[in-house]
Structure 1
Amino acid sequence: MRVPTTLVFSTVQPVIFVLMFRYVFGGAIRVPGVRYVDFLMAGIFVQTVTFGAMNTGVGLAMDLQSGLIERFRSLPMARSAVLAGRTIADAVRNLFVIALMVIVGVAVGFRVHTGVLEFGGAVVLLLLFGVAFSWIMAYIGLSTGNAEAAQAASFPLMAVFVFASSAFVSTATMPGPLRTYADHQPVTATVNAVRALVLGGP
């Protein structure tokens, strides 16, 4: 949150994904029983908080590299305060970006098919999932101690989780081994839960 450009680029990327999948790939993707834009947005929401978690790791690596964390350690404060503060700040950013994605989604045809409570539950689930991934990325960032290395280490992990999931297509279209992996990894579980809360169904 200290760097405004981070917030800007955190919002630009998911908007581009919405537009690309809605208007470039959406015409070629069919999901039985549901409009693709409604199917897509749950995946976009989860992708947004998942990739947003990389900012936690990269930011902490930058703080470690610059000596900021060492200066914090010299202050009379809990050692966990830096990590907690960073993840809370990123959760607030995620809330803002999710709100923006809802607006963009509605603009391109997305509609919520359930009630306010269910949609609120979906938002809470997204925030909790984002916090969980932020802690994983924090570990990577602190382990590498270098912003470039943290980003390089984080992106392949995020890509394997997000793109090999039910975020953008049904896992039923995937070949056997890949489908088995996709059906049993946390991004798919979260996407399916958010999709059920937003669209209804199991």
Structure 2
Amino acid sequence: MSARSHSAVMLRRNVRHLVRNPTSVFNAVLMPIIVMLMFVYMMGDAFDVGVDYIDYATPGLVLLAVCYGLGAAATAVNSDMTKGIINRFKVMDVSRGAVLTGHVVASVLTNLVAVAALVGVAFLLGLSPAAGPLDWLGVVGVVVLLGFATGWLTVALGLAAKTPETAGLASVPLVMLPFFSSAIVPAEKMGPGLREFAEHQPFTPVIETLRGLLAGAPDPAVATTAVAWCVGIALGGYLWARATFTKRA
């Protein structure tokens, strides 16, 4: 079998695991929606962002929806490594890259389900984007690229962890990072130090790109920065994951 066929088999395996244990998908979908309800209904009136708060917050919450599903992916890849499944795959001559790719693609699919649910709820809460068909296609592309990048980084973190429990905790910084970006409030409204961090961390240009696409007026320079960050994170995560996998397997 080719590496592509091996990857397809590993993807089907991971999807079956998700179907048998839907709790992880449920959490990935539910938590961002709860956060959206909390900020829109409890705190939305406290923020002066120049537009309806649901329109401002949705792009950042889309990114948060991607990050919330990462803990399950890190735990799953670490379980494969620590419970001996990888040794069985080695005996079966399964491509090592296929094992990791299966986890990444399954993570991206989970992200798409979570983001679709979140955007559906956002529309119920009054989201009114000006995006056209090409803008929506761009939104999907950014979400997939972000999911691919964070997926590889999460797989690398899961492989580096010693136990499934610590693997799940390793993704916590990725979940917290959106809160220190322009996801909830504009970076210019933050205090010194935090403002500079929010302006230059990798998630802010991704959020601003999504915000521009939903408004129908994306900024090419910001979009280029967002894509560059995603490609860099994906490449770094991939190389780290392959090196760690080769060493431990």
Decide which of 66, 69, 81 is 2:98's aligned counterpart: 81
1:172-187 to 2 correspondences below 5 Å: 172-187=188-203
**Contact 1:114–1:198 at 8 Å: present in 2 too?**
yes
TM-score w.r.t. the length of structure 2 is: 0.77
Q: Does 1:16 align with 2:22?
A: no
Q: Deviations over 1:92-124 (max 9, x none)?
A: 111111111111110111122110110111111
Decide which of 117, 125, 134 is 2:142's aligned counterpart: 125
What are the ranges of 5 or more consecutive residues in structure 2 without an aligned counterpart?
A: 1-14, 220-249
Q: Which amino acid aligns with 1:87?
A: V
1:157 Cα offset (Å): 4.3
Distance in 2 (alpha carbons) for counterparts of 1:44 and 1:192 = 12
Decide which of 203, 208, 211 is 1:195's aligned counterpart: 211
Which is worse superposed, 142-151 or 49-58? 49-58
TM-score w.r.t. the length of structure 1 is: 0.94
Q: Which amino acid aligns with 1:93?
A: T
Distance in 1 (alpha carbons) for counterparts of 2:160 and 2:91 = 20
Q: Match of 1:66?
A: 83
Distance in 1 (alpha carbons) for counterparts of 2:206 and 2:180 = 13
Q: For the pair shown, which has the larger CA radius of gyration, 1 or 2?
A: 2
Greater RCO, CA 8 A, separation 6+: 1
1:70 Cα offset (Å): 2.2
**Contact 1:49–1:127 at 8 Å: present in 2 too?**
no
Q: Does 1:169 align with 2:168?
A: no
**Contact 2:27–2:69 at 8 Å: present in 1 too?**
no
Distance in 1 (alpha carbons) for counterparts of 2:41 and 2:87 = 48
Q: Does 1:112 align with 2:129?
A: yes
* RMSD across aligned positions (CA): 1.3
Which is worse superposed, 148-157 or 82-91? 148-157
Distance in 2 (alpha carbons) for counterparts of 1:102 and 1:138 = 26
What are the ranges of 5 or more consecutive residues in structure 1 without an aligned counterpart?
A: none
Percent identity at matched positions? 33
Number of equivalenced pairs: 200
Q: Which amino acid aligns with 1:155?
A: V
